[in-house]
């Protein structure tokens, strides 16, 4: 038992190390938002000027709201559609299924630059053009494969007998899905949603091709800014986003259970 205890503590320490690795650049990003030098110059000189100028930067703020809006809608649509598709791929056996599964990889494998160019040409061709609608259309498509792959991985652990048992007890298809399958795959759906949000929120290339000057997203603004006027305002806005989402997430974790507790 003692060994188990020690191993458990080692495990916790390991998680701590991993989080330290993951958050190292985030902490530096946040620190630099309070540093006076626009070029991350050291020694550190405290300032809140970047937050003050961020407050004045309507363009950056508008782009941030666009990004949040698009990422939230993308997350919702791609999680719902993706989970449905995963269920179908799991539940049913049919010809061409392997092909459908293989088709999930082109959007991930083809560099976004090419996908973005292709989307621009095609969306023009069919009359959608550029703008927030086009960006949303593209983002959902990019996020879908991630959701399907992640949810499918979770579904692989699901015992089909459970669905059969529920059916034999007289549950209809909807009840089976709603009461049996969905609770089981929920951690997968949540993880897929988190990835979808990340894919959309940090998506630069495709958004870049599909945005118009008035309708742009945060990463597009950032990449355009580094040509000339990159300032730690970018760090400031990223820091605010991280702090707010961390608060939201910890609240969520406090009040909802989704980790698949048995």
Partner 1 sequence: MADQLATGSRRGLKPALPLLLPAYLWLTVAIFLPLSAMVFFSFMTDLPLAEKEWAFTLGNYTAFFSQGLYLTLLLASLRLGLEVTLWCVVIGYPAAYVLAKVLKGRSREAIFLLIILPFWSNGLVRIFSWAMVLREGGILDTTLNAVLPFKINIDLMYSYPAVIIGLVHSYVPYMVLTCYLTLQAIDDSLIEAGRSLGASRFQVLKRVIIPLSMPGLIAGAALIFVPVVGSFMEPRILGGRTGTFYGTIIEDQFVAVFNWPLGAALSFILLAVVLIILALAAPVLRRAG
Partner 2 sequence: MCMPRLTAFLTATAVFVSALAAQAAEEVHVLNWKGYGADEPWAVADFEKATGFKVVNDFFNSEQEMLTKLRTNPGLYDVVMINAAFNDQAMAGKLIQPIDASKLSNYADIAKDKANSPMLNHDGKVYGVPWVWGLTAVAINEKSFDKPPTSIAEMWDPAHKGRVIIRDDAVEAVQFGAIASGQNINDIKDMEAVKAKLTSLMPQIKTFWSSENDWNQMVASNQIDIGTYWSGSADRAKTHFKLPVSLVIPQEGAVAWLDAFSIPAGSKNVAGAEAFINYMIDPKFYVEWVTKVGAPVSANTKAVETLPEDAFNRKVMGNPEVAKRIQFQAPITDEQREKYLALWQELKVNVK
Site for partner 2 in 86-125 (CB under 8 A): 120-121, 124-125
Pull the structure tokens for residue 89. Answer: 């791929």
Please report how close the Cβ of residue 182 comes to partner 1 at its closest, in angstroms: 13
Site for partner 1 in 78-107 (CB under 8 A): 81-82, 84-85, 87-96, 100, 102-103, 105-107
The DSSP line for 12-47 is HHHHHHHHHHHHHHHHHHHHHTTBS-TT--SS--B-
Q: Is 168 in the site for partner 1 (CB under 8 A)?
A: no
Site for partner 1 in 59-78 (CB under 8 A): none
Please report how close the Cβ of residue 48 comes to partner 1 at its closest, in angstroms: 18
Which of 42, 99, 102, 169 forms a contact with partner 2 (CB under 8 A)? 42
Q: Is 37 in the site for partner 2 (CB under 8 A)?
A: yes
Report the residue count for the chain: 262
Site for partner 2 in 47-76 (CB under 8 A): none
Please report how close the Cβ of residue 94 comes to partner 1 at its closest, in angstroms: 4
Please report how close the Cβ of residue 225 comes to partner 2 at its closest, in angstroms: 7
Site for partner 1 in 19-38 (CB under 8 A): 19, 21-26, 28-29, 32
Q: Which long-range contacts (CB under 8 A, 24 or more apart) does 29-34 make?
A: 29/235, 29/238, 29/239, 30/235, 30/239, 30/242, 32/232, 32/235, 33/232, 33/235, 33/236, 33/238, 33/239
Site for partner 1 in 2-21 (CB under 8 A): 8, 11-12, 14-15, 18-19, 21
Comparison of 48 and 212: residue with beta carbon closer to partner 2: 212
How far is residue 208's CA from residue 203's CA, in Å, rounded to a whole number? 9
Q: Is 122 in the site for partner 1 (CB under 8 A)?
A: yes
Nearest to 70 by CA among 256, 218, 230: 218
Say if residues 204 and 219 touch (Cβ distance below 8 Å).
Answer: yes
Would the CA dihedral through 150, 155, 156, 157 be positive or negative?
Answer: positive
In the complex, which residues of this chain contact partner 2 (CB under 8 A)?
37-42, 120-121, 124-127, 129, 212-214, 223-230
């Amino acid at each position: 038992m003692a060994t188990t205890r020690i191993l458990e503590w080692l495990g916790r320490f390991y998680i701590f190390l991993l989080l330290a690795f993951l958050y190292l650049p985030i902490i530096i990003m946040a620190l630099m938002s309070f540093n006076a030098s626009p070029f991350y110059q050291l020694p550190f000189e405290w300032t809140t000027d970047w937050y003050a100028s961020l407050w004045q930067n309507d363009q950056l703020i508008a782009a941030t709201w666009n990004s949040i809006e698009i990422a939230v809608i993308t997350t919702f649509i791609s999680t719902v559609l993706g989970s449905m598709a995963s269920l179908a791929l799991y539940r049913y056996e049919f010809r061409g299924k392997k092909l459908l599964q293989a088709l999930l990889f082109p959007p991930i494998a083809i560099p976004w630059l090419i996908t973005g160019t292709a989307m621009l040409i095609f969306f023009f061709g069919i009359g959608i053009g550029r703008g927030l609608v086009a960006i949303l259309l593209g983002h959902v498509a990019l996020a879908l494969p991630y959701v399907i792959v992640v949810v499918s991985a979770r579904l692989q652990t699901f015992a089909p007998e459970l669905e059969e048992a529920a059916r034999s007890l007289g549950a209809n298809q909807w009840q089976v899905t709603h009461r049996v399958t969905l609770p089981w795959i929920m951690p997968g759906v949540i993880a897929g949603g988190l990835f979808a949000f990340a894919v959309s929120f940090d998506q630069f290339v495709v958004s870049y091709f599909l945005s118009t000057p008035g309708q742009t997203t945060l990463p597009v603004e950032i990449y355009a800014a580094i040509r000339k006027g990159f300032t730690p305002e970018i760090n400031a806005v990223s820091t605010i986003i991280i702090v707010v989402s961390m608060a939201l997430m910890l609240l969520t974790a406090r009040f909802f259970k989704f980790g698949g507790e048995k």
